[in-house]
Structure 1
């Protein structure tokens, strides 16, 4: 991927360089590389290294740990879109005898299957995968720590099961399926399960002295779908752009929006931290922005991929140390720096197509009881319904082609909106999941549940 350094202003580029320089110095990382994506293109690359005259470039591989899970989730969503499975299917339907088969596929994707966080000892990240040749070795005799579906509990073995599911339905190793269905179509030529040169070495930096120790590099075997991959800032920048825009050769933009939607009930601490888990992606609220992506770590490496979808800015940060700079927070800072220094210029306003104007009669003010709402027709053909003032239930709605609309988000996600007409064809009211919206508060000319007092509105006598 060609990195354009001219697309950002000099002051912005200096601020980005300063941020990663501070991260590398204060985090005591042997090296740190980063990239920023804007409008679907990589616009900046930076690197800092403890070795004079040696700055890793955008094609140097680092191990990315659990960012691998996002790649595995993409493969599962492809199977769903092809009709080979339903996310609500129990795993046993497709992979019988796993020992965790009552868990559904969506629960595995969202870490709500109740499975243990790690496989039974020894520490799987620092020992050969050959020690765990079968799924039973990964799950152990008691794979569950919580009731299925009750709480979010991050699970590496859960993504091992998803990788095994991919292998079963595709009839090929996870690595081969990933390369054929995701890496090659997206041009991610420097993302792989094994690290061809050039690649960084993984180091442990002593917490109380400026000395280092090399970390072992292990093939994770069965655990590979949870954390095996190596990649570069150039490849991950391209992958970040895909996660926003989609690519019909791999996964649609609509399915990726589904992946970016919270799916796991957060713990109390997660709510306080502004954290939620989606389908193979993490969501965080930082700097007043909603960010999606994933972090990753393995002995010797730290990785962070963060996307500000509304700002259309993404950042990747990779370091080769076991502990050190908070790479996810650094990536969020890079997104913030660009978004605040060079705010996104909105697309020009354009009127909607003539074909979308028949719903014009529905536009304007409506009342749910005494609450005032506004219904707007958007240029993309959607309807938007939300309160005129204050906070309240708001959603956009997609036309179904039969005079009804389906909610896309919030309280009304999946709910049906329809215009109820009188005998003469005029609109009496809107019905939204049994809620009645009228043109006037408790309009006595409309069908208001419970009726309207015949004496009408009045003051105190």
Structure 2
């Protein structure tokens, strides 16, 4: 058995399991939840579940359904990104290009996905989460007197109606209800047979807990109709573990890893909060020094959270059947932190590249942007990595393209083109990175530096 086998696929160690169970127990007791379910995914596999409280007289398990609320939004975003990847829409398209919804005039698909479309936070009354969807028989009926509360694209403003429109967009372009499309295109390929629009036994009942006494009140579980894409789904910790594995590495039957990386790139900060933001259908947070992506959710009687740490290859899931009480997002994040701190990830063994192109190898080493030194390293698949020789600065990884250039993958140069410019005799003379010139010597007299180099060269003061 290799180190990789032990690290990735074994269940957590006894001390780790105890710490995980304690976190779930604290959340259930302090939050006064009738039941609380926790789960941990490591390297795409469900490795731990734990529960406190009961559902119908027994402890819930990985097959017990809970309503997951706004976690539904991430599923809808996956459907929209599939349409984009197939060429059926562009994220920059105004919604009006595909749907006749005057209330969202000017908002683009990307803005709806990132809650920057300016739409109101909630649907027209009465309280949509506790009333039948039949009260809003069409998309126009989900809007109140002020459907737009901010100019489109100006700021982040969470909008449930915005995702209702994205669900309607899926229905228009697929010619089938969004729930059917979701089952066919996402749930079935990922093996999520216990995720559904309506509850299926065994499932938890939703409760409200009295704020000043330990007594309960049942909450309604309505079919929210057109508002369903904002929070309709029911799921289990077992199914959400499969979804977390998908969010980590992708699945070409659903979405590739590149599109998922796009979904978790920040599109808007949450009201100026540096530690929280929103991508395309995914919430982004920092917790315990870690960058996490996923989503939280709430519906009357239920709370849910799913977070993924790509760096640790861990995911934490928490589900409860109470309207309020447990800090569900913090619990799910703490499950990741417990495993990461008790069982820190063992690095992959270093291995040499299977082959090397001598021309690429000749590009590696020091380059200079003006007087500042950088290092250029060769990565797998002909990729490159540019980073400052010392201190912070603009570091990026680059993907090789068929035309002999490279495209930035992250940091300041994400999306920018890096190309090698040859000099006399065909030898590399300098690098051009989005018009920035990197030379082999700092401000060499014969270097092609914009603005030229003083012919007297370097001198003492």
**Alignment partner for residue 165 of structure 2, among 161, 165, 177?**
161
Task: Kindly indicate whether residue 78 of structure 2 is the aligned counterpart of residue 78 of structure 1.
Answer: no
Report the equivalent of 2:277. Answer: 276
Q: CA RMSD in A?
A: 1.5
SS in 2 for 1:208: coil
The residue that corresponds to 1:14 in the other structure is 18
Tell me whether 159-168 or 86-95 shows the greater mean CA deviation.
86-95
Residue 221 of structure 1, CA deviation: 0.4
How far 1:456 sits from its partner (Å)?
Answer: 1.0
- Structure 2 Cα separation of the partners of residues 34 and 334 of structure 1: 8
Contact 1:366-1:440 within 8 A present in 2 as well: yes
Deviations 1:347-401 (A, max 9, x none): 2222223255531111111111111111111134321111111111111011112
1:89 pairs, out of 76, 90, 93, with: 93
Q: Deviations over 1:386-431 (max 9, x none)?
A: 1111111111011112221111111111111111111211111111
How far the C-alpha of 1:249 sits from its partner, in A, is: 1.0
- Equivalent position of 1:379 in the other structure: 380
Counterparts in 2 of 1:52-451, with a 5 A limit? 54-268=58-272, 270-271=273-274, 274-354=275-355, 356-451=357-452
What's the CA shift string for 1:247-285, capped at 9, x where partnerless? 1111111111111111124422x22xx001001101101
Give, in whole Å, the separation in 1 of the partners of 2:203 and 2:307. Answer: 22
Change beyond 3 A, Cα 1:113–1:357: farther
Q: How many pairs are equivalent? A: 454
Residues 327, 357 of structure 1: alpha-carbon distance in 2 compared, 3 angstrom cutoff: farther
Distance across 1 between alignment mates of 2:15 and 2:174: 49
**Do 2:125 and 2:144's aligned partners in 1 also have CA atoms closer than 8 Å?**
no
2:4 corresponding residue in structure 1: none
**What is the deviation of 1:301?**
0.3
Taking the aligned partners of 1:44 and 1:337, their CA distance within structure 2 comes to 12
Say which SS state the counterpart of residue 121 (structure 1) adopts. Answer: coil
Gaps in structure 1 of 5+ consecutive residues: none
Deviations, residues 150-191 of structure 1 (Å, cap 9, x unaligned): 101000000000000000000001111111111111110000
Instruction: Choose 8-17 or 258-267, whichever is displaced more.
Output: 258-267
How far is 1:192 from its partner? 0.2
Query: Any unmatched runs of 5+ in structure 2?
Result: 1-7
SS at match of 1:17: helix
Is contact 2:101–2:140 with CA below 8 Å preserved after alignment? no
Q: 1:426 to 1:358 in 2, by over 3 A?
A: closer
TM-superposed deviation, 1:98: 4.5
Structure 1 counterpart SS, 2:170: helix
Q: Go from structure 1 to structure 2 and tell me whether the alpha carbon gap of 1:5 and 1:441 turns closer, same or farther (over 3 Å shift).
A: closer
Q: Deviations over 1:72-125 (max 9, x none)?
A: 000001101111111111111111244314211000000000000001211111
Cα deviation digits, residues 296-339 of structure 1 (max 9, x gap): 00010000001111100001100000001111101110001111
Instruction: Provide the TM-score with structure 1 as the length reference.
Output: 0.96
